[in-house]
Amino acid sequence: MIDPAVLEHTQKTGDFTRLLEDIPYARWIGLCCDRFGDDLIFRLPAKEENLGNPILPAIHGGVIGGFMELAAEIYLILGQETLRMPKIVDFSLDYLRAGLNRETYAECHLTRQGNRVANVGVVAWQKSRSKPIATARAHFLLEG
């Protein structure tokens, strides 16, 4: 569970350092986040440990999925007025092309948020936004 004080700090300052350090998987894969006005762009750096196919070399599909799921969750947490921890209900991922060993980006969009459920769309790309490597839909239960 993420410390609510860390969430509040991140929401107020836009500094994601403490938040990402508190999530072991985010720290392990090297997830980064940058804020540009109201937009959040998530980054996954090129990293040998994230490879699933060293011959191509391509990022492991599970790393891409975990990166996108974490991006959706962080996006949802920080986009709410009240700090509530979402619980993943469903995550559907479409791999569109190989994610090569280079910096990968993800952007999230809230497609629906009610009192108890939220839906987030995620697009991941590498060199060009117009050529995504994967898209995902995440459904969360909001508690608190």
What is the CA 32 to chain-centroid distance, rounded? 9
pLDDT in tens, 10-66: 888 888 889 999 999 999 999 999 988 888 999 999 999 999 998 999 999 999 999
Structural domains counted in the chain = 1
Q: What are phi and psi of 131, to 5 degrees?
A: -125, 75
- Residue 137, domain CATH: 3.10.129.10
Which pTM does this prediction carry? 0.93
What pLDDT, on a 0 to 100 scale, did the predictor assign at position 110? 95
E-state strands within the chain? 32-36, 39-44, 51-53, 58-59, 86-95, 104-113, 117-125, 132-142
Range of the domain at 23: 4-142
pLDDT in tens, 76-85: 988 877 777 7
